[in-house]
Amino acid sequence: MKSTFKFSNALALLTRFGKDRRGNFGIIFGMALLPMLGFVGMAIDYTRATEVKNSLNAAADAAALAAVAQSRSTKLPADPSHVWGIMNGASRDSQFINASASVKNPNGNPTTAAMPAGGGGGACVAPSTPGAVPFDFTQCMQANSSTAQVQYTAEVPTIFMQVLGFHTMQVTGTATAKSTFATYLNFFMVLDNSPSMGLAGSPTDLANMQTATTGLKDPQSGGTDSMGCAFACHVMPGNLPKGVTEDYYKVAKDNNILTRIDYMKSAVTSLLNTANTYTQIPNQFQFGLYSFNTPCTLSPSDCTTYNEGTAEVAPLQPVNAANLPNMVNAVDGIDLAYTLPGNPDDQTDIDGGLTYVKGKIPSTYTTPSPPSNFVVLVSDGLQDKVDNSNCRNKKPAYAWPGGCRHIATVTQSVCQAIKATGAQVAVVYTPYLYISQAEDSWTYTHVDPMTTTDANGNSIDSTALQSCASSPGLFVATGPGISIGDALNTIFKNALAQTVLTK
């Protein structure tokens, strides 16, 4: 029997087909597959372009730094071919477009230098093959500095995005570096000459000091020292106890025993000579020298106040052949502060010394470019001063008839005030050598708790000094193998490290 086409049957069949949902996932997946692959491909191509950009950024940084480093040595614009070599070596994943760079010479006239062919030792390739990167290299020369800028543009070939008609992805970047040929630096040296700097300066000196003073009459109490003393106590002749003819400071000198103040003065003298040797241009390095205490005369009545005030040992001045001898003599003239009657010792006023020197930082300058200012504190880091405010709650503290003797660390707000001027704070920390209770009960009770190190090698006073310093490179602690001279030279050289990426 023949089937007869009926319009109604056809319409019913078409209706059933339209309502049928079987197999639609395959149709939708087929329609979505192409854009899904496109998005995955775009992610892969983008990741590859990002890797190229990171590589070229590193190369641009290196090229800019290399340019200013070369100019710092020669005082001339850098060789463009050197910059090109660094950039081209990192450009194998980018499409070659051109090979030239513009350079501004010291007169400001732009010049064009042809770049050598090839990258990473290979030959220059056709534009359609990965090879080199077009970039612009500009170097500006000033009287005392050089600024180099490297800008690049790279075309990174795509793989998956070519399906969508995108054959390359463009990446760009800029690196800028600046270096001074000769850095102008001002150093304001805050030198601790308080009685605690009379402590023997090394374990050998300490042992010799105790031996030399054993059996002598103590220059403060007048009693016999059965175990000797580690401190070279400096007592004004008019204040010596009856029957005592010399203090332990003279004993140390008579026996060639070096105290911390001796090591400090030697180190500062060495630093001045180093600065003079490093000087490249006039007035490059200027030093001001200051001590905690103004020297008293030999008259006891002249030292009736316990805080004699910060002394200006030598005003800020250039280190040069003309000034150096007088500056060295000024350092040699720094003397250990007297231990005053009854031990009312507010002669270690670190806050006062730093505040005084802050006022010496000039607001103007006479050098061709602004100097960098460094306030350099050389101290054991413990203040020992009279502070009668709320004495009972200050620990450690020691009450005496004239007031409250307070042992404390440097006040951080004082350090911050110096930094707010734009100056940097550097610290040379001279730790106390451990003294037992039998050797010196007062120091053992009041000082040792502040200076004893924890498992990480830190103490209360050293932690405060590290916070006061502007950066880790500007804090150096002395100790085995690191003298005060070593520490000062480290800070001086760190201050000279001025070549940095600026962008």
Q: What is the pLDDT of residues 379-434, one digit of tens each?
A: 887 777 666 665 555 555 455 555 666 677 888 999 999 999 999 999 998 876 65
Q: Say whether 121 sits in a helix, a strand or coil.
A: coil
What pLDDT is recorded for position 75? Answer: 67
Long-range contacts of 211-220 (CB under 8 A, 24+ apart): 212/251, 212/252, 212/255, 212/257, 213/248, 213/251, 216/248, 216/251, 217/241, 217/243, 217/244, 218/244, 219/244, 219/246, 219/247, 219/248, 220/339, 220/343
Q: Please write the tens of the pLDDT for every residue from 360-371.
A: 999 888 877 788
**Pairwise CA distance, residues 100 & 111, whole Å:** 11
**Pairwise CA distance, residues 402 & 110, whole Å:** 74
What pLDDT is recorded for position 71? Answer: 74
Q: Please write the tens of the pLDDT for every residue from 96-153.
A: 333 333 333 333 333 333 333 332 222 222 222 233 446 777 777 766 677 788 887 7
Walk me through the domains of the chain, giving residue ranges and CATH numbers: 28-180 (no CATH), 185-199+259-498 (3.40.50.410)
**Pairwise CA distance, residues 374 & 360, whole Å:** 12
Sign of the four-CA dihedral 236, 238, 242, 246: positive
What pLDDT is recorded for position 280? Answer: 82
Q: Which of 201, 212, 203 is nearest to 258 (CA)?
A: 201
Query: Worst-scoring range by mean pLDDT, 73-77, 115-119, 174-178, 194-198?
Result: 115-119
- Band (pLDDT 50/70/90 cuts) for residue 258 is very high
- C-alpha distance from residue 138 to each of 61, 68, 108, 202, 418 (Å): 14, 11, 11, 54, 37
What pLDDT is recorded for position 262? Answer: 94
What pLDDT is recorded for position 41? Answer: 67
Average pLDDT over residues 225-248: 82
**Pairwise CA distance, residues 265 & 191, whole Å:** 9
pTM value?
Answer: 0.64
The answer for 284, left when phi > 0, alpha when psi is -120 to 50, beta otherwise, is: alpha
What pLDDT is recorded for position 87? Answer: 74
| pLDDT above 70: residue 48 | yes
Q: Please write the tens of the pLDDT for every residue from 303-321.
A: 444 445 677 899 999 999 9
Instruction: Provide the residue count of the chain.
Output: 503
**Pairwise CA distance, residues 209 & 196, whole Å:** 14
The answer for 422, left when phi > 0, alpha when psi is -120 to 50, beta otherwise, is: left
- Chain centroid to CA 47: how far? 37
End-to-end CA distance of the chain: 90
Q: Which of 490, 479, 16 is nearest to 260 (CA)?
A: 479
Which residue do the tokens 């070599």 mark? Answer: 85
Sheet holding 135-141, edge to edge: 135-141, 145-157, 168-180, 500-501
Helix count (H) and strand count (E) of the chain?
13, 15
| pLDDT above 80: residue 474 | yes
**Pairwise CA distance, residues 208 & 405, whole Å:** 30
| pLDDT above 70: residue 20 | no
Backbone angles phi, psi at 313, to 5 degrees: -70, -40
CB atoms within 10 A of CB 251: 18
| Structure-model confidence comparison of residues 456 and 95, the more confident one | 456
**Pairwise CA distance, residues 267 & 289, whole Å:** 13
Long-range contacts of 277-281 (CB under 8 A, 24+ apart): 278/496, 279/319, 279/320, 280/181, 280/182, 281/144, 281/182
State the chain's mean pLDDT as an integer: 74
**Pairwise CA distance, residues 464 & 35, whole Å:** 62
What pLDDT is recorded for position 196? Answer: 80
Which residue do the tokens 């992805």 mark? Answer: 169
Cβ(115)–Cβ(135) under 8 Å?
A: no
Average pLDDT over residues 467-491: 91
Cβ(93)–Cβ(130) under 8 Å?
A: yes
Q: Please write the tens of the pLDDT for every residue from 442-464.
A: 565 666 666 666 667 677 778 88
| pLDDT above 50: residue 22 | yes
